[in-house]
A = this chain, B = another copy of it.
């Protein structure tokens, strides 16, 4: 192995920690520094040899970092950091506000084209691996339907909503694909299904002492937007059980393309994920795409890219010859 790909991490929450762990599994990469908005002395990284620096100093490291992995959130961090970092670094991010992707792409693309950097946006599993499979399904089987199911998985937004209900001490909410709907899709029936017909919502709630459980349950189930349209199950459990059984950030789901070719031959493609840790998997995808950004940049490419623009072989540390010999 020659020179390693030098990685920087911006933002050190669950995703940033996941990227640090992923880099350790990739011997062709090294982590140069973590940049944080917090006081660096308060940020404890897993590897004490890794520098933690204020985010404002990142620019000083432009010659020491090949790819910056942006681990901030899509609501406020990335809209600002994406274009700002593309001015000095090849970047990878997991921007996931689907409706705003075209604008975000344009903003990053303009900067990255003028700086000569490669910025791969919206990387992860959805958007990311799921997008790739939606696209492949549609291109290979043009006559058919695509279904995305999410779960079983912990939904942060819905868990927060449950926690805001009066009398709730702690709670988690799982999004769960409805098995009957999944089976109809897998059988090639091509049913018309709304999101709420595909998923049910299951809550595990720790109530405060003396709270009226029936009121909590009713309030959750009738909560507009979050629960009222869905089949919702509410379970009351102890705090101990919550910590013992519901502390993993598990997630997953599947993309199914159900198509037809020739004279009515059904053809089903399915991609699925079953993840013990949602942020660590997303981080692993970001890290593999950091390798691709580095290679594309080395080839002289620039501008914003998505998973659709990347030749998949670039994600691998293996040479094209090795890939053909070992994996084709």
A312 touches which one: B266, B308, B324 (CB < 8 A)?
B308
B284 touches A273 (CB 8 A): no
Task: Let me know if A244 is at the binding interface, CB within 8 A.
Answer: no
On whether the beta carbons of B25 and A143 are closer than 8 Å, the reply is yes
Known contacts A105-B324, A267-B277, A271-B270; A312 and B135 CB within 8 A of each other? yes
A328-B280 contact given A25-B261, A26-B142, A135-B312, CB 8 Å threshold: no
List, in ascending order, chain B residues with CB within 8 A of A129's CB: 136, 140, 269
How far, in whole Å, are A265 and B277 apart by their CA atoms in the complex?
6
CA distance A288 to B143 in the complex (A): 13
Known: A261-B284, A268-B275. A320 touches B327 (CB 8 A): no
State the interface size on chain A (CB cutoff 8 A). 67
Note all chain B residues with C-beta closer than 8 A to A140: 129, 281, 284-285, 288, 315
Residues of B near A324 (CB, < 8 A) are 101-102, 105, 306, 308
Q: Determine whether the beta carbon of B315 is less than 8 Å from that of A307.
A: no
Assess the B142–A328 pair: CB atoms within 8 A.
no
- Contact partner of A327 (CB less than 8 A), chosen from B105, B138, B259, B269, is B138
Residue of B with least CB distance to A309: B311
Mark contacts of A284-328 with chain B using CB atoms, 8 A cut-off: 1 yes-contact digit, 0 otherwise.
Answer: 110010010000000000000011111111011100110111011
Asked if A212 is at the interface (CB within 8 A of a chain B CB), the reply is no
Interface pair A261/B134, CB less than 8 Å apart: no
The minimal Cβ–Cβ distance linking A249 to chain B, given in whole angstroms, is 9
Does chain B have a CB within 8 A of A38? no
Known A262-B21, A315-B136, A323-B135; contact A267-B280, beta-carbon cutoff 8 A: yes
Least distance between A30 CB and chain B CB atoms (Å): 15
A270 to B272, CA, bound (A): 5
A266: chain B residues at CB < 8 Å are 274, 276
- Please measure, in the bound complex, the distance between the C-alpha atom of A196 and the C-alpha atom of B328, giving whole angstroms: 21
State whether A268 touches B261 (Cβ < 8 A): no
**Extra pairs beyond A139-B315, A248-B265, A308-B311 (16, CB < 8 Å):** A18-B261, A26-B142, A131-B327, A134-B327, A135-B315, A138-B327, A140-B281, A140-B284, A261-B280, A261-B281, A267-B274, A267-B284, A268-B272, A269-B272, A270-B274, A306-B313
